[in-house]
Chains A and B, each alone.
Chain A
Amino acid sequence: MKILIVEDEKELLKSILTYLKTENYICETASDYKTARQKIESYNYDCILLDVSLPGGNGLTLLKELKADKKTDGVIIISAKNSISDRIKGLNLGADDYLTKPFHLSELNARISAVIRRRHFEGHKILVFHELTIDLAAKIILVNNKAVDLTRKEYDLLLYLAYNKNRVISKNAIAEHLSGDEAEIFDNFDFIYTHVKNLKKKLQMAGCGEYIKSIYGMGYKFDV
């Protein structure tokens, strides 16, 4: 999988690169408009992370050009602007997703995985971890080929953990992922604890190994 990261903040770029390293992606970077444009024109990427404000131009212009060239690269816009109109504008231009700064790397990773899977495994989107199978199309999970009944939140939680497998995800990141903007209002993470506890119980009862581990109360890790 080839990914292009267009981001002018060097430190953020480094963080993203480090986080994505374990995913076996081939990552290329561009930190200004010109470089980004050259790379987009010359190569095809599975996913492009596109910062909107770039030195030398606007990320959205790149997106327009990309779509005009009938390229099918998946695009996730990263923007400091969090207004609905900007979001709609980005998505209307053909972006697959829109993420506002500051974001969690685990969230970014989950979104990249989702975009890539949407583009490459059409009709047959399945994640398998030993006895555990997640069917992305049907939104169900199977343990030893037997369906496990999960609530929507539990399913989302498991998928989020699975996308970020073998990495610690903070409770904050999970809270934001599960409840969206609402997490900005409440700081109480008890509900995550409840969701995790229920999820673990259901998986365990279905005969699944204990892959979800709590890391010193800081967050959780899907260890496979």
Chain B
Amino acid sequence: MKLLNKTIRSYLIYSFTILLVTIPLFYFVVKTVLLHSVDRSLRTQLRDIRSNLNSIRSQDELDAWSKLDKDISLAPSGENFEDSIYTVYRFTHKHHRNENEPYREIAGIITVGGKMYKLVVSSSLVENEDLLGSILMVQTILLILLMAGLLWINQIISKKIWQPFYTALSNIQQYQLNKKSQLSFRQSDTDEFNELNQAIKNLFSRSHEIYIQQREFTENASHEMQTPLAIFQSKLELLMQTIPLTEEQALLINSLETTNHRLIKLNKSLLLLAKIENNQYSSVDDVHITLLTEKLIEQFQPHTERKEMTVTKHYSEDPVVRANNTLIEILIGNLISNAIRYNLEKGKIIIDINKKSFTIKNSGLASPLPPEKIFDRFYKENGSGGDEESIGLGLALVKRICGLYHFDIEYTFKDDLHCFTLFF
């Protein structure tokens, strides 16, 4: 649920409850007040009548008076009782139809010429009801308008107030550690947002700085490592020339050299990764995938021949990608060399190239590799059939290069074949 909706929802629920409670409450309050005033006027009327009774002298006058005033009814009464007020509903004929209308009545005893009469003064409540209805309607409309207005204003203000937050959010979403981007934060008049923006900016620049430092460190470290490696290598070669040289020494020198060679390779791969991260392969060319693949297969031919592999090729098209030549060569080269390296004796390699993808399948281990791990740096599959010298950076490089050009790489295992598909 969106933040704005969340706050507005609370407001809405509150307003609605208030509306539901206040309207009936208001109705009863107003009704009571109105009834009260009617009662008062009825009492006043009864009192006035009683105080003016001495002006009536005869029975005829009494009848005439009671007939003149429609709100009054008079009847002889045998017993005395207290004044009472009540509401009655009476059918009246009005505008050609019968309506059940409410009346408020006061009943009391008056004495005229020594005789007791029951006097009833009534007052129609229809006008009151109408008045009540109108008031209620106006009130309801007013309340609804008020609340709708409040909600609306609140929403607009909230939107405006939260705008810096949304800008900040989209900035964070767009942020990429490896890209230095000039993020624009809008200056807000809310202190908290300004603080938030400042905090985000600091966080970004600090992460970026650390990232750059780390990147440079890898590159510098790899560079610095090259000289000692070169010295070590040269000394080993000189050691090889020493006379006399026993077999024992030769074996030691040999394993030292192999280890050093591995170090050199590892260092080169690390340097390459660092260079890709540092955008040192920014030059782009049109790279013809099929041509490149052919060239690489030819280069690797001694190795495929040695293992007596069958290489099957299906080229339906020659896709051209805009990318750095060296990197694409490393990309395709690593995929092919892996297919050779982790293959069986007399195994097979199938390469499919079409307009949108490059697929390479190879026989090898009979079980699938963990797809989520194989692209990790320094991941090595135990007993994968490759040589022990694998340094576990080949597919990490592949992944990195794919990332650079937004290619997709996918690993599947089907029919005992390991399959890597590259989507341009």
Residues on A close to B: CB < 8 A?
A: 9, 11-12, 15-16, 18-19, 80, 82-85, 101-106, 167-168, 170, 172-173, 179, 182, 184-188, 190-191, 194, 215-219
Contact = CB atoms under 8 A, between A and B. Distances in A.
Contact of A19 (B229, B234, B389): B234
B302 interface: yes
A170 B237 contact: yes
Interface string B194-238: 000000000000000000000000000001001101111111111
A66 B231 CA distance: 28
A77 B387 CA distance: 34
22 contacts: A9-B227, A15-B234, A16-B234, A19-B238, A80-B227, A83-B275, A83-B280, A102-B229, A102-B234, A103-B230, A105-B237, A170-B237, A170-B240, A172-B257, A172-B261, A173-B237, A179-B302, A185-B334, A215-B245, A218-B240, A218-B254, A218-B257
A224 to B, nearest CB: 15
A2 to B, nearest CB: 22
Given A186-B303, A215-B245, A12 B258 contact: no
B389 A187 contact: yes
A82 B226 CA distance: 11
B387 A188 contact: yes
Given A83-B280, A172-B258, A188-B303, A105 B231 contact: no
A182 to B, nearest CB: 6
Contacts, number: 110
Interface of B: 223, 226-227, 229-238, 240-241, 245, 247, 250-251, 253-254, 257-258, 261-262, 264-265, 268, 271, 275, 280, 283, 299-300, 302-303, 306, 326, 333-334, 337, 340-341, 387, 389
Contacts of B326: 84
Given A83-B280, A186-B341, A102 B230 contact: yes
Contacts of A11: 231, 234-235
B337 A185 contact: yes
Contact of A170 (B251, B257, B341): B257
Nearest to A109: B237
A105 B257 CA distance: 13
A15 B258 CA distance: 19
Contact of A15 (B235, B264, B300): B235
B270 to A, nearest CB: 13
Contacts of B237: 15, 19, 104-106, 170, 173
B227 A101 contact: yes
Contact of B250 (A104, A173, A217): A217
A100 to B, nearest CB: 8
A102 B264 contact: yes
B337 A218 contact: no
A216 B250 contact: yes
B238 A18 contact: yes
A85 B341 CA distance: 30
B261 A101 contact: no
Main secondary structure of the interface of B (DSSP, over half): helix
Contacts of A218: 240, 250-251, 253-254, 257
Contacts of A186: 303, 337, 340-341
B268 A184 contact: yes
A101 B280 contact: no
A167 B241 contact: yes
Given A19-B234, A105-B234, A170-B257, 12 more contacts: A9-B230, A11-B231, A11-B235, A15-B235, A15-B238, A16-B234, A85-B283, A101-B229, A173-B237, A185-B337, A187-B387, A188-B387
B90 to A, nearest CB: 108
A168 B241 contact: yes
Contacts of B303: 186, 188, 191
Contacts of A188: 303, 306, 387
Given A19-B234, A172-B261, A218-B253, A182 B240 contact: no
Contacts of B275: 83
A143 to B, nearest CB: 25
A187 to B, nearest CB: 4
B280, B299, B334 interface centre (most CB from chain A within 10 Å): B299
A216 B247 contact: yes
A168 B224 CA distance: 28
Contact of A168 (B229, B240, B280): B240
A15 B254 contact: no
Contacts of A190: 306
Contacts of A170: 236-237, 240, 254, 257
Nearest to B299: A182
Contacts of A182: 299-300
Contacts of B250: 215-218
A186 B386 CA distance: 10
A106 B238 CA distance: 10
Contacts of A104: 233, 237
Nearest to A215: B250
B239 to A, nearest CB: 9
B333 A185 contact: yes
